[in-house]
Chains A and B, each alone.
Chain A
Amino acid sequence: MRNRLLKLLVVAIALMALVVVPVTFAQDENVLLYGGNQDIDNIDPATGENYSINAALVSLYDALFIVRGEDLVPNLVDTWEVNEDATVWTFNLKPNAVFHDGSPVNADAVVYSFSRMMTLQGPPTYRWAGIADANSAAALDADTVQFTLLQPFAPFLGTLSQLYIVNPAIVEANKGDDFGQTYLRTNEAGSGPFTMGRWEIGNVYEFVAVQDYWGGWRSENHPDRALWIIRRDSASQVNSLLANETHIADTIDLIDAARIGETPGYYIENNGGLFTNSLKINTQGEYTSDLNLRLAISYAMNYEALPQVLDVPVQLMPGPTPLGFPGAVEGLDVPTYDLDKAREYLAQTPWPQGGISLDYVYVSGLTFEEVTGLVLLEGLAEIGITLNMTPMLWPDMVAACSDPATGPDIINIFTQPAYLDMDAHLYNQYHSTQWGSYNSCNFYKNERVDELLDTARVTGDAAARAELYNEAQTLIAADQPAVWTFTQNSVLAFNECVQGYDFRPLESLSVLFQDLDMTNCPT
């Protein structure tokens, strides 16, 4: 009996040993291994949008423009012109662009793609809400497409980096009863530098380079294959990077970044982004409709403590607009951490001694949102206000923001402009028509600000627009509809063999696989 057990044990150990021996593989092409922190859910350009989806779309498809570094660069577009009041935009397309099946990317394809996008009314269409509809685009000839907008819209070009062009023939062949949505969710119909390879849902997504890509490659040693490998948390991101299971880690905290930066063979890209955090204050709330209370809250925030306690590198905000954003007003008089001033303002409210309790809502489990709240909690406690930490699931937060009555007193929200224009930054957060969307959870209404933002939208002249936006920012700052905290840097860790990364403030989290260079990577 015991002998048999012993034998069993030996066999078990032998089996384990078999499993333990490390396995290595050789490859003869450039394979980029990217550790991405979330799934690529849906690659239909008309309905999918978040940073991982964008990374996939920009690889599989071409849009009229592409964001490279800080610039908006023509991609499918060769030349363009716009009429005086920014309503009619005409684009000439490059003649040599071809879809993966060899057919040309022509004006018809652009019209088809835009009309499909607007018909389906998917999440990406918020950019064009009220500005264009399914009939706005028309083909003048094979290579010329014209957009006639419903109203003047000066920052139109910026939105076109998200207009990915689909191959009409393929969509039509797989149209089904939902305009090809089922098909395009898991298949591509693009002209981009990559096609789809292995597509393991929830696990690994492979992009295979189109060697004779019509737009050409930046580097001879571009990735021949790029793998998006889901690594959901920073711990496994770092582990994989250091174990050479990935070349790039896209979610790491400061401490790990410092450690990796000191490790030979790796480097860190740390760039100030436009990923903006603010604690929105409900300007229609029971207590928080009081401006003095909002000011008291803002003076009770220990801003300087934030960079110390957050594990992501951050830059404090000088007001409603992050530093470095084109058109940001400088020298605004905004609150600093000053408990005396906080008490002073509180004394002018109906609750001079505090004694009230405010909800602070944030995404459940997001450490740095929690930490930001804890810093505010401590400051508010000093002036007699209780901050009620209220973590919520994301969909619950979205629901709460749909109505001023249910809007939280204070809510932690990240925003990122869709294009590099003050319009993309201010309109969705501070224009009163936007109430009900997540980004406008402060339920801010100032008629003068509404007017300024509307006028700026239709103003073509850059100097005049800047003037309008300056005034708007100053007014917003005075109304304190938010505690403006920080912009979060984009931190990526690289294996040294991967070069050619160009930080894109607008797409701070998605890397352009096509521009990377892998000359020094072992093959």
Chain B
Amino acid sequence: MSIRLYVLRRLVLIIPLLIGLTLLTFIISRVLPGDPVGLAAGPQATAEIKEALRREFGLDQPLPAQYLNYLTGVVRGDWGESLYSRRSVIADISTYFPATLELTITAIAIAAALGVPAGVISALYRNKLPDQITRVLALFFVSFPAFWLAMIFQLIFGLELGWFPVGRRFAAIETPPAAITGMYVLDSLLHLDFESMRMALSHLFVPALVLSFGSLASITRITRASMLEALDKDYVRMERAIGIPNRVIVTKYVLRNAMIATITIISLEFGWLLAGAVLVETIFDFPGMGLYAVESSLRLDFQPIMGITLIYGVVFSLINILTDVVYGILDPRIRYG
């Protein structure tokens, strides 16, 4: 099967999955005992006010009709409105998602920058002290509750040392770069506005660092394991036997092979970090998907909740396909089938 056909087939297969997902979240959201309408209507709301709100949001219709309305809306790009803020869900997601994406990309970059060398060191010094130390460190960092570590880091880097801002995406008083992608760093780069880029990066660094810890352990472990596997290969032993310097073998053969597994794990981690951002965003007042998800959930504001899970579903599925494709390109032995 050609790669194009393979991707196409995978893309088509996402659709029933996403329909299933919307059904799942719809069921979850409609069996709730709570009264989000009452909350949105305010503490002194009369029955008429609540009824008007219910009608406006189509909640007076039978459930199957509501679900059908939702599905057709989703296809048309209308993901409904928040009961509480009355803002369009798709508009809110398009504001919040780039923020979280940017945070996650930075975090995964930090995690890879720390984790891959750590894994390499671990493998090269297998079972010796540096190996033990790196492994313990990786486990150490992944064991912290992210929200707690975020508080501590905010205190240390933001308040005590004053190196970084205490939260948010950008200095409030300044206008962020005009949106192209919605990701401030990329946008400021596209505008060649380096001052803004520096500001965006300084806001990103601490939350991204905290977030990256969640992935450090697995990236380190997989890098180490695949390095070891490659080091064990016959041709590597052969090369070593004929006297090629270790440094050359490692950089030329082993690293490249080990990269395949590592890239896979990095792309998998990416999806997990996207979710982990929920907790970090809460602490850093970082206006992204995580804050949006938490606030909506606590209000049982189901339209955003459904939109959020759907967009995560789409992104996760795409990442999975991308991972498989990249994997195939890096390792020609894999065939698409």
Contacts and interface: CB of A to CB of B under 8 A. Distances in A.
A12 B205 contact: no
A231 B86 contact: no
B138 interface: no
Contact of B172 (A121, A185, A227): A227
B127 interface: no
B41 to A, nearest CB: 5
Nearest to A365: B298
Interface stretch (A123-131, A372-380, A382-390): A123-131
Contacts of A477: none
A434 B162 CA distance: 53
A393 B300 contact: yes
A31 B173 contact: yes
A227 B174 CA distance: 10
Nearest to A47: B86
B172 A239 contact: no
Given A20-B163, A230-B285, A439-B44, A398 B86 contact: no
B38 A18 contact: no
B2 interface: no
Contact of A22 (B92, B96, B162, B169): B162
Contact of B169 (A181, A203, A235, A239): A203
Contact of A33 (B163, B166, B173, B199): B173
Contacts of A437: 43-46
B168 A129 contact: no
28 contacts: A12-B113, A18-B198, A18-B201, A22-B162, A23-B171, A23-B195, A23-B202, A122-B52, A201-B87, A201-B287, A202-B92, A202-B287, A227-B172, A231-B285, A232-B285, A239-B166, A239-B167, A243-B166, A245-B165, A394-B299, A395-B32, A395-B38, A395-B300, A399-B33, A399-B34, A413-B43, A437-B44, A437-B46
Given A200-B176, A395-B38, A236 B45 contact: no
A20 B202 contact: yes
A364 B52 CA distance: 28
A124 B300 CA distance: 21
Contact of A121 (B49, B113, B120): B49
A198 B33 CA distance: 38
Nearest to B110: A12
Contacts of B33: 396, 399
Nearest to A243: B166
A236 B166 contact: yes
Given A39-B85, A120-B52, A437-B44, A204 B172 contact: yes
Contact of B45 (A1, A123, A181, A231): A123
A121 B48 contact: yes
Interface string A18-46: 11111101010001010000010110100
Interface in B131-157: 151, 154
B105 interface: no
A298 interface: no
B35 interface: yes
B213 interface: no
A203 B164 contact: no
Interface string A435-451: 01111000000000000
Interface string B175-209: 11000000000000000000100110110010000
Nearest to B88: A182
Given A4-B251, A235-B151, 15 more contacts: A1-B250, A5-B120, A19-B198, A27-B173, A39-B295, A126-B42, A201-B92, A201-B287, A230-B285, A232-B285, A393-B298, A394-B298, A434-B44, A437-B44, A438-B38
B166 A125 contact: no
A31 B96 CA distance: 26
Q: Which bracket fits the contact residues of B?
A: 35 or more
Nearest to B209: A16
Nearest to A126: B44
A406 to B, nearest CB: 9
A129 B48 contact: yes
Given A202-B291, A394-B298, A428-B44, A181 B86 contact: yes
Given A236-B285, A439-B44, A126 B87 contact: no
A42 B44 contact: no
A53 B42 CA distance: 13
Contacts of B164: 19-20
Contacts of B295: 39
Nearest to B41: A123
Interface in A197-231: 198, 200-204, 227, 229-231
A126 B48 CA distance: 9
Given A39-B85, A41-B84, A395-B34, A229 B45 contact: no
B98 interface: no
A49 interface: yes
B36 interface: yes
A161 to B, nearest CB: 16
Contact of B166 (A22, A42, A48, A240): A240
Contacts of A245: 165-166, 171-172
A129 B195 CA distance: 54
B48 to A, nearest CB: 6
A396 B34 contact: yes
A1 B44 contact: no
A415 interface: yes
A402 interface: yes
Given A20-B164, A25-B174, A186 B205 contact: no
Nearest to B298: A393
A124 B42 CA distance: 8
Given A42-B87, A437-B43, A123 B285 contact: no
B87 to A, nearest CB: 6
Nearest to B40: A123
B42 A8 contact: no
B34 A398 contact: yes
A230 B96 CA distance: 15
B95 interface: yes
Contact of B202 (A19, A27, A123, A203): A19
Nearest to B205: A19
Q: Which of A120, A203, A246, A395 has the most CB of B within 10 A?
A: A395
